[in-house]
Amino acid sequence: MSSGSGANDGHAEQSALYQQQLSKIGEVRASLGQLSGKSALYCSNGSVARYLVARNWDVKRATKMLKKTLKWRSEYKPDEIRWDDISDEAATGKIYRSDYFDKSGRSILVMRPACQNTKKAEGQVKYLVYCMENAILNLPPGQDQMVWLIDFAGFTLHNISLHVTKLTADVLQGHYPERLGVAILYNAPRFFENFWKLASPLLEKKTKNKVKFVYSDSPETDKIMEDLFNMDELECAFGGRSPATFNINDYAARMREDDTKMPLFWSPENPALASEPYLMNNHGSQQCSLGLKTEETASDKGEETETTSDKVEETETASDKREETVTAPENSGETKTALGESGEAETDSVKREEIKTGFEKGETETGAEKKEETKTESSTVKLTSSPGEGVASPDKSGSSSDP
């Protein structure tokens, strides 16, 4: 067979898959019925495709997921949150959008959990939603993903809340599918690995596969970061060469300017929200057949195709049960409220009991237990990414899909 014939066959296969995908998008549209206003704008072909990818091109599940998002957006109104609504949350720079992008053109959200300055989960989640909407607003044409840079400098057990983690996972996985490209956990302390074991079941497998543990004393770190970022732009805190630091006044001015752009973003005149044909090649060739996974077993599918919120409706997660059944120890005077309006409270001592930190157990574990409980700090997860609306530039590190 000639090379020309092979190329034609490949093109024909891509065209056929593209038509199948458009057909699936059409089925979701039909299931949604007549939409108007922002809901209609939100459901562009690219947006519908993200929900289909998150649910492995299962029309029924994707439609259910998208309907929940439309209901949530109509009630929560994430695009109407403004800087003055959340400025108190932003004061310490615990989350902010950098003024540079990664090499693939993705927005970057810098997160510093040690800079947590509030106690109510509701306010913390609202600020994260604001940051997500702002990052999406600032995505360049052809890109719809972002990068999270999480700096663990100064991080302690006091900064951990399973409740906030669960709420965050519910919102991000349920209403922002295919938005995360990669999450860099930079210099996470040893005890965080134990918390990760409790928190990771709240995440879907595709999301977990986008998490990379990176350590400044690892020989692999320089290459990982250099592959992703322009080191002259990257902050020194992450091994880059930029001396820039967070300045609340400068950041507030940037955000207020962005706030004026948001209404224009959510208008029929915005071509980014137009219902343009979805380009199949954005999702990569690994989507060999619709409705089928290429790397997972049927049992994995059952686990992954439900959002965290779906699971919560049917049964309590293990972490929820821990929160409800663990009683405060004798030194309850140290109780520190870390939750929202529900009135629930977590104590530092309860957190320590839940997390079972390596600090408390490390000296008594056998070598075999340590090997099982604590992975080497230099281990990393394969970097994945996924497409956006329009024609996305190929990610230098490969492509995949995620919630």
**Which residue among 254, 276, 298 closes a domain?**
276
DSSP-derived 3-state class of residue 220:
coil
- What does the block give as tokens for 143? 């890109």
Pairing mode, if any, of strands 95-97 and 146-151?
Answer: unpaired
Residue 109 DSSP code: E
- 89 and 205 housed in the same domain: yes
Could you tell me if residue 363 is inside a domain? no
Q: Which domain holds residue 144?
A: 85-276
Separation CA 227–CA 282 (nearest Å): 21
Within a domain: 387: no
59 and 126 co-located in one domain: no
For the domain that residue 38 is a member of, what is the CATH number?
1.10.8
**Residues 195 and 117 grouped into a single domain:** yes
Reading the chain (403 residues) residue by residue, the pLDDT tens digits are 555 666 677 788 888 888 999 999 999 999 999 999 999 999 999 999 999 999 999 999 999 999 999 999 999 999 999 999 999 999 999 999 999 999 999 999 999 999 999 999 999 999 999 999 999 999 998 898 999 999 999 999 888 888 898 899 899 999 999 999 999 999 999 888 888 888 888 788 888 889 999 999 998 877 889 999 999 999 999 999 999 999 999 999 999 999 999 999 998 888 766 544 444 334 433 343 444 333 333 334 443 444 444 444 444 444 444 444 433 333 333 333 333 333 333 444 444 444 443 434 433 343 344 334 434 333 333 323 333 333 333 333 333 335 4
Which pLDDT score, from 0 to 100, does residue 299 have? 35
CA gap 305, 58 in Å, rounded: 9
* 36: CB partners within 8 A, 6+ apart: none
Same domain, 46 and 92: no
| Rounded Cα distance, 101 and 105, in Å | 5
In-domain check, residue 115 = yes
Q: Are residues 95 and 232 in the same domain?
A: yes
* Run of H or E residues at 164: helix 162-175
Closest CA to 397 of 272, 256, 225: 225
Number of domains in the chain: 2
Tell me, yes or no, whether 45 and 125 share the same domain.
no
pLDDT of amino acid 42: 94
95 lies in the same domain as 32: no
Nearest alpha carbon to residue 111 among 26, 60, 186:
186
Q: Is 265 exposed, middle or buried (0-12, 13-18, 19+ CB in 10 A)?
A: middle
* CA–CA dist 393, 119 (Å, integer): 40
Do 237 and 271 share a domain, yes or no?
Answer: yes
Whether residues 89 and 57 share a domain: the answer is no
Helix, strand, or coil here: 357? coil
Q: What is the maximal distance between C-alpha atoms in the chain?
A: 78
CA dist., res. 28 & res. 52, Å (int) = 9
If asked whether residues 65 and 112 sit together in one domain, one would say: no
Helix (H, G, I), strand (E, B) or coil at 365: coil
Residues 229 and 124 in one domain: yes
The pLDDT of residue 105 is 95
**Residue 257, token pair as written in the block:** 């300017």
DSSP 8-state secondary structure symbol assigned to residue 81: -
**In angstroms, how far is the first alpha carbon of the chain from the final one?**
40
Same domain, 55 and 155: no
CA nearest neighbour of 143 among 101, 176, 184: 101
| Cα 354 to Cα 356: distance, rounded to the nearest angstrom | 6
Q: Can you tell me the distance from the alpha carbon of 150 to that of 213, in angstroms, rounded to the nearest whole number? A: 10
Q: Which helix (H) or strand (E) holds 96?
A: strand 95-97
Containing 180, the helix (H) or strand (E) segment is strand 180-186
Would you state the structure tokens that stand for residue 229, as one six-digit string? 């970022």
